[in-house]
Structure 1
């Protein structure tokens, strides 16, 4: 490939693309709650975590990779690695198995965790390892544990992390069970969607700890009281994540929206309500509530875990609008 001169050029391109990404995230306000994250995003080289990825094209997907013999193709790969966009990293038969999340969404999630020096963090869903690297950069390797079900994913994440100079604890296992051997944690963050909050997470979180996880098409931030109790609200941010493998993907067909007005069908917050109340409300009931309550945004909804019960609610955990979540 013409030796190190090209590599140096690519490194310079990566550095300028990374700086541009940091400016873009800055302008979006994503880490306003905790601007210390700026330094981690400026330092951690995302391109080392996505040696190849797939870009949607008309006929399906096109692979971009850093070892391409074609120099312009390598440049496209580097530039794409620093776009503020999710990157498809693993496909099987055209189905997305794993991706690297959109950096500004990662920044917003990390900022909402409100980590402090010395905190121990568990990440559910290792993916490429990039998010674990950001956490390790800020808190130190020993404070960060990340778990994924797929040994291929954890193995390649370890390689990416080592190449970037980070060595958090990477565990192969079922994220819904947490990592009891490394508990207790001050923060738990998931980067895959679940149908409900696993009890194991509460048991492995210190009282007063925070859990941030995708659920329905939102992000819920819970404060843990003890092993049996946690409560919190959704953030305003929409979030679409690959489901946790090993969890019930509930391949239930999408509900029929007949009789639901067009403005609701097109509304992201109505679709969130549908996803949250699936199995409790049919689409017409959900629409009647959504219309009556003034098209509530995500942050008016929350989740409570209490003993063996778990429910979603609108405005008030003990109010009239509450829906059980799958146990």
Structure 2
């Protein structure tokens, strides 16, 4: 199988005929950036090593994300009997989402781009094909990812600047600035260093950590930026500051399945799978960041668990759409916070997060506001 045929088919799916991104997608050998990847098989992470080009191209040129790192384990360096534990820490993002982020940036010929979150390097390749390699700078906190992406880009004849940097901290590029910054890692609030690295009138595209909220903002004369939460949805891994994320709350989540609550009530609304209710999850994450979820079904019985690193937890159980029995413990009542968001939704007909106005102060303080609702996200 010739890879160009597969890349052309991907371009048909991920772009429209008149898109300026159609050519870059069709010309980029995505399989070079994902020689191996992780998938969940029977409840554990399992390495996928394509046995032939047909299998390799079928996965690499599908419009889906491929997990390339779990915890500290890079798929490139793994063996077939490795089964890492932990959360995904890097991926080759689905191409249509990468293209969508670049489209929101409104890239024009001659723009200088800062690509935050090199990952596999595939998105960097698309940008370099579109703008020219000299116009693209890409950064990632993971040295192995950076070095590997740099080598794979060179195989295509592309040599953009690719550096190992924790982009949530100081950026070493000044006095050079960028016309566009696109982040394919999520942040709670916009780092002030990103604003300082933007040209006057430059445009930023990013996502808010723990949400599916995609933010676009244009730099203002005061050094801040203003924009909006787009109606599109996008989700990326949180920006890392080191080799891995902090440990998950698996012990507290497991304990919450069994223990008696300090407070036991009957909830007003049916049990909901929060992580798959994207706007509700986003609203909750803005007001109470850091909550982890578990959701299980047993026949008609539904159980939702919430836990937070401060020791707060909640468990709601019900049959079908009946009102749930809710157990809660710790310093905060997490299920009550969820119910407050659901009450707002019912009272106003929608949640205010989607389409909200975004104001970013020069220090990175990020304010979302819509109607009488607002939330402040501080650095």
Q: TM-score, normalised by structure 2?
A: 0.72
Partner of 1:242: 237
Larger Rg computed on CA atoms: 2
Per the alignment, do residues 164 and 298 of structure 1 end up closer, same or farther by CA in structure 2, a change over 3 Å counting?
Answer: farther
Is 1:165 matched up with 2:157?
Answer: yes
Partner of 2:376: 324
- Residues 269-312 of structure 1, C-alpha deviation per residue, up to 9 Å, x if partnerless? 11111122226993233222222221237542232112447243
* 8 Å Cα contact 2:33/2:122 also seen in 1: yes
Is 1:15 matched up with 2:4?
Answer: yes
- Residues 123-167 of structure 1, C-alpha deviation per residue, up to 9 Å, x if partnerless? 111101111111111111111001111111111111111112211
Partner of 2:269: 261
1:18-97 map, 5 Å? 18-26=7-15, 35-65=19-49, 70-71=51-52, 74-92=53-71, 93-94=84-85, 95-97=87-89
Per the alignment, do residues 286 and 309 of structure 1 end up closer, same or farther by CA in structure 2, a change over 3 Å counting?
Answer: farther
Moved more, 269-278 or 292-301: 292-301
* 8 Å Cα contact 2:66/2:91 also seen in 1: yes
- Residues 185-219 of structure 1, C-alpha deviation per residue, up to 9 Å, x if partnerless? 00001111111100111111012111101112221
How many pairs does the alignment contain? Answer: 303
Partner of 2:217: 222
Per the alignment, do residues 250 and 217 of structure 1 end up closer, same or farther by CA in structure 2, a change over 3 Å counting?
Answer: farther
Q: Alpha-carbon deviation of 1:77?
A: 1.6
Gaps of 5+ in 1: 1-8
Moved more, 269-278 or 199-208: 269-278
Greater helix content: 1
* 8 Å Cα contact 1:127/1:148 also seen in 2: yes
Q: Return the alpha-carbon distance in structure 2 between the equivalents of residues 140 and 307 of structure 1.
A: 30
* 8 Å Cα contact 2:204/2:218 also seen in 1: yes
Question: Is the partner of 1:235 in helix, strand or coil?
Answer: strand
Q: Return the alpha-carbon distance in structure 1 between the equivalents of residues 374 and 38 of structure 2.
A: 40
Question: Is the partner of 1:119 in helix, strand or coil?
Answer: coil
| Equivalent of 1:184 in 170, 177, 181 | 177
Q: Return the alpha-carbon distance in structure 2 between the equivalents of residues 252 and 325 of structure 1.
A: 23
Q: Alpha-carbon deviation of 1:250?
A: 7.9
Is 1:150 matched up with 2:142?
Answer: yes
Greater strand content: 2
Q: Return the alpha-carbon distance in structure 1 between the equivalents of residues 158 and 56 of structure 2.
A: 23
Q: TM-score, normalised by structure 1?
A: 0.83
Per the alignment, do residues 306 and 250 of structure 1 end up closer, same or farther by CA in structure 2, a change over 3 Å counting?
Answer: farther
* 8 Å Cα contact 1:98/1:127 also seen in 2: yes
